[in-house]
Structure 1
Amino acid sequence: MSRARDSSIDTIQRELTAFARRARAAAARLHPELPFVSYTLLSHIHDQQGCRATDLASHYMLDKSTVSRQVSALEKLGLIERRADPADHRVQVLHPTTAGSAALASTHASRRAAYQERLADWPAEDLDRFADYLLRYNSAAEGPGQH
């Protein structure tokens, strides 16, 4: 690997780490009683229109006990509920409650406004390119050798 490539990889790693830290901090400010992990799980449950806790653990590569604690916290906040799976009544499927969907909508609107403000000076071509790069980067993580 060339030095220029190594330097670029180091910069990407450093900047993605900084990005993740800022994202966590922003999430905490936008919805203080909903930690970043809980927000992420609630968002996934909403996007999937319901899912099992084991699916969350698998998707995010989290320990089942971690997911269980987060799910319990979301239930206590009244943001999700368990429903029996129509195909197998032994299985519980997690669904957002009306309050959960409202919390997501509010947080999403705030996050969108923050991104719009931060990216206001970017030309459309740069936004398109950045979006494409993020899609490409994240799709590579869904294949073999996930990191």
Structure 2
Amino acid sequence: MPDRDASIETIQREMTAFARRARATAARMHPELSLVSFTLLAHLEDRQGCRATDLAAHYTLDKSTVSRQIGALEKLGLVERRVDPGDHRVQVLHPTEAGTAVLARATQLRRQAFHERLAEWEPADLARFAAYLLRYNETA
């Protein structure tokens, strides 16, 4: 039977390497975007807009961190603020057309990279890996 502690150590080490590659990949896709900025932009697109406080709560980030990241995205023309029609005191963040284009290009490049990296994997291995990732992320 495999050693549980050794397996967990290997998982931790490999997840760290995965995160480093993700940061490097995000930097290559759009040099001015950090991985955090890219993630926030993608969240805005997925949710079709949300408030900065919602971003901070969802990602358990400090409001000042979100504010800096959103400010950078606005400066790059990738995010815009719109008044919430239901409450004119609230501003909702949305990706601009340029922001949506950056995400579309990044998604295309990411998919291509995954297809290349996993080209030699058997379909059953891919299905197991996908199931394990889903299971892992559901417990987080």
Q: Which TM-score tier does this pair reach, normalised by the shorter chain?
A: over 0.9
Deviations 1:85-105 (A, max 9, x none): 111111110001000000100
* Percent of residue pairs bearing the same amino acid type: 71
Q: Does 1:48 align with 2:57?
A: no
1:91 aligns to what?
90
How far off is 1:122 after superposition? Answer: 0.6
1:100 aligns to what?
99
Distance 1:118 1:137 in 2: 21
* Letter in structure 2 aligned against 1:31: H
TM (norm. structure 1) is: 0.92
2:71 aligns to what?
72
Matched length: 140
How far off is 1:3 after superposition? Answer: 7.6
* Letter in structure 1 aligned against 2:103: L
* Letter in structure 1 aligned against 2:45: H
Deviations 1:75-127 (A, max 9, x none): 01000100111111111100010000001001110111011100000111111
Q: 29-38 vs 99-108, which deviates more?
A: 29-38
How far off is 1:33 after superposition? Answer: 1.5
Distance 1:88 1:126 in 2: 49
SS in structure 1 of the partner of residue 3 of structure 2? helix
Q: 74-83 vs 27-36, which deviates more?
A: 27-36
TM (norm. structure 2) is: 0.97
SS in structure 1 of the partner of residue 28 of structure 2? helix
1:109 aligns to what?
108
1:61 aligns to what?
60
Distance 1:124 1:41 in 2: 32
CA RMSD in angstroms, aligned pairs only: 1.2
Poorly superposed stretches of 4+, deviation over 6 Å? none
SS in structure 2 of the partner of residue 112 of structure 1? helix
Distance 1:82 1:30 in 2: 24
* Letter in structure 2 aligned against 1:126: D
Deviations 1:26-76 (A, max 9, x none): 111121121111101000000011011001101111100000000000001
Unaligned runs of 5+ in 2: none
